[in-house]
Chain A
């Protein structure tokens, strides 16, 4: 009996072991010049992984993450030509990684720039194939590196420009034709927020010929603060006229004296445009009866038109207890930067707080998680029509769309 029992036990156990995972079907593709990224949160709610893959275009499709590459969680990848950079903002790794788009092979891991202890790589500006800058948002400096070899060439120490501390938190960057690099300074303190008594925006100007800081310019009248956003490199950009626009986060809508919106530095100027401020909490949104609190993500599309998802805190069912996954509070809009007007877009639903926007041959792709699904909706500015449901379905939160050949 004893022997039979042992055999039975081993048999049962072997059956149980047979229930191990089966590999998922490989049902996605690797190719094209369209980069999509989706994010999957872990049960701990704080960590997760972004999955990045190249797809052929914007034809209706559903993509799993089977062939996607894991990238840093919820950081929008940055591209330059066929290079795609993965900046580990929150120290998930201590490198700035480069991936190369290789025809027929999708993204292939390239060399990496080794960072120092606790350096969080933020936004990247490539001057040419031999020189680039990356802002180290939590160590008060820029690193100058060779993007081809991903080797460090030098540092620009910005600690002298910090407000209240030694770290001005450099974020977004725009390189102008005159060789001046405009670096937005977050000037954030505890809890990654601006200092409450400092509702202003600072931009540092650097001479790239000598890689030395020239001066800091500040805008103190509009209440717009926290210029640019660490996870979104498109918050600061230069339009076709050479004007620089800087999206400001304010205090994410929670402190009325700090506001979100856009500031401008006009072509050739080294000062903020004193006549320009688009302040979200003061700008009505055509089509709805409320105003937005802060910019979630933006995409400039040319001709002064910008598309964005705007966070509207009033849309939280319980504002005292926001649920950033379940509450659909991000409103897709079209912003006329010149006219300083905002209007909603027909058919495209509000999404949760994990979202993105991109540009594809004049069409706008909104990455939205809503009751209608997860994925990218298409809005055609030419017709003013949007898709009610996602055209490109993703597995996870669709937070980034990059068409590698687009200017913006």
Chain B
């Protein structure tokens, strides 16, 4: 199908032709599509954004042909008027092709990534479509990945990749680390409609992403949009949850303009059973979450760089604090951030084959936490005195904290193609973080200053050599990283009553990894990778919180040695039908594990502990028929404490060999998707139905010691179902999703009840 929109530009007696070629279903721009004209015989290819242009064309009627591997060709008759630049939007439908007796199917970027040497799972836009839920839902259906959630919308969520979680997992948006902004934009806030794919790196993190992560990384790749595009979506979900998002984009000459944003509101007012009072149910009444994000972008292709992009964004959020053990009715947190990212790109920069990609970011963030209630609340609504004379209903002191932070970040990526089969990639990422925390109320309560400003520089440089053998039989990626950080702050010695001391920590370190992919058979890949890498301590780990958590100036990075082995089998069952089976085994030994060490008076982060992880995951995906897609995966991960001795002594470690507590060790997902075009007649309709089942085996909150062990996170079996119907060739889409249809009790963090059965209805309109 072709859509054309004319835009007239004053030219001479010739005419021009320009436009973009996209996937007819997904709207994804097609890179490298061919555009051919007859009389005159002219041709062009689409660029990285699916765009093409030709000028100096004769006035009159021409035939144009559009083709792309894996897509059915299109032809059209066009008529060019003098001085006109005719703009086209060309939509191609995916299908297998036969060229010179050899069956060739185009490989999408997602599939190319799946065939990379590094262990990776790729969740494509196709897999995200049909769900009205979130990125978290998509991630939690992935082998080796589990989500640890504490509540509803906006609650603290930890992603666990093969059992490693928290700060060990890196989050990236379009390759830019979110580390310092994760308090302001959670990956789960990003509407699935804006996402092209999610890359989940398991174990080894590619150097090109920059940053520091150990257990894995999640890279959210946002979509490229056609030249004129509008997308508006609204979701109404249980517990008074509303989500709205929009993207508007248009091109003007060599400029692209975009505006997008989303707003999320939820009361999270689900009913929970109080963990300390079984049989007592309460509706959550102080769990409201609001987040507003507005982003804009301007992209220019008319300067010396191939592309210059400026994308300022603003985000604001606030969240009430919901009590679970006891009632909390006033405390809340809020945050705001202003980000100014700039991206510069140029291929063949300074030399042929050298691609240049530079991100410069400035971020200003403001975060508040207010807990100054002058009374505390019981579940029956009655009150009792606050924690201190100055108030406070959480913890031991009231708080009116206001933390300001300035972040400057630069990320340079240089990719040099050494020949047909080799390329080298240099990535440099430098951060400067200046923090200004304050909490005058806490200081009044304690009678002393507890927080101090800090300055932190960090630099991570990665070098990756990628080599490919003839026929793509072997693919090798060798990468090395250099890390440096320099942190300066102040701390009080001895529980806040000693002198104020200057603290400085400078450290240099390195890591290396090697990944190999062998094509054993045309349809069977073997992947092996090994890494000796590290994770730098985070701000909080190094600097503490100025009060209960002391700075740990001499904290060392966590160091790991890991090995991954995997087999990927992909078989074309027929046109548009594919079977994929992946089996992975993994091993990791983690040294100098950074742990939070509780003390009688103050706590801090310390390096102690060793852990090893041994596991396997298997995943099956199949387009069983033209309308049925099946998936199933299971993960067994066995994380064990391997410390021989108690820290600092020769006493045997009593938990040596015990499974690490509070980490799921066995979980599985299975599901199906039915999709049918024009199920109810007519044309341009598409219907999808999804059914998913998730299982997590019971696991312990503590190290296993006694047969009377009580604190367990119970086994969970949940079923989700989703329906989606699109009209007008994917322009109007409506969806309904019901999660946890059996209303099973679900807990992923000890004593943190999650919502039971809940549903969401979504309507989306796309104009392109």
Contacts and interface: CB of A to CB of B under 8 A. Distances in A.
B9 interface: no
Contacts of A320: 493-494, 498, 501
A44 B596 contact: yes
A46 B638 contact: no
Contacts of A24: 704
Given A191-B446, A325-B597, A326-B647, A159 B705 contact: no
Interface string B549-593: 010101000000000000101010000000101010100000001
B358 interface: no
A255 interface: yes
Interface string B749-760: 000000000000
A9 B708 contact: no
Interface string B639-662: 001000011111100110001111
A59 B56 CA distance: 101
Given A5-B569, A191-B446, A69 B706 contact: yes
Interface in A106-162: 114, 116-118, 139-140, 159, 162
A254 interface: yes
| Chain A interface residue bracket vs B | 35 or more
B477 interface: no
Contacts of B379: 117
B156 to A, nearest CB: 14
Contact of B651 (A42, A49, A373): A373
B706 A165 contact: no
Interface string A12-35: 110011011101101000000000
A22 B273 CA distance: 33
A190 B397 contact: yes
A111 to B, nearest CB: 15
A327 B606 CA distance: 13
Interface in A302-345: 319-327
A361 to B, nearest CB: 28
A45 B277 CA distance: 25
Contacts of B554: 321
Interface string A34-55: 0000001111111111010000
Interface stretch (B202-210, B382-390, B670-678): B382-390
A66 interface: yes
Given A44-B596, A46-B603, A353-B600, A190 B638 contact: no
A45 B702 contact: no
A396 B276 contact: no
A44 B595 contact: yes
A46 B706 contact: no
Most buried by A among B397, B614, B636: B636
B445 interface: yes
Given A46-B598, A191-B396, A320-B494, A371 B651 contact: yes
Contacts of A13: 583, 616, 618, 634, 636
A369 interface: yes
A327 B702 contact: no
B759 to A, nearest CB: 32
Given A196-B447, A254-B495, A320-B494, A45 B596 contact: yes
A395 B385 CA distance: 41
Given A117-B326, A325-B647, A65 B705 contact: yes
Nearest to B640: A21
B103 interface: no
Given A46-B596, A254-B494, A396 B654 contact: yes
A167 B615 CA distance: 51
Nearest to A28: B706
A342 to B, nearest CB: 21
Contacts of A162: 385
Contacts of B595: 43-45
B731 interface: no
A189 B395 CA distance: 11
Give the top 4 A-B pairs by smallest Cβ distance, nearest first: A326-B648, A166-B385, A94-B276, A118-B326
22 contacts: A1-B521, A12-B583, A16-B585, A16-B615, A17-B666, A40-B703, A41-B598, A46-B596, A46-B603, A47-B702, A117-B326, A139-B384, A164-B388, A189-B388, A252-B601, A254-B494, A254-B495, A320-B498, A323-B606, A325-B646, A369-B646, A395-B705
Interface of B: 274, 276-277, 325-327, 376, 378-379, 384-389, 396-397, 442, 445-447, 493-498, 501, 521, 524, 547-548, 550, 552, 554, 567, 569, 571, 579, 581, 583, 585, 593, 595-604, 606, 608-609, 614-616, 618, 634, 636, 638, 641, 646-651, 654-655, 659-662, 666, 701-711
Given A254-B601, A322-B602, 6 more contacts: A12-B616, A46-B603, A166-B385, A369-B646, A369-B651, A370-B651
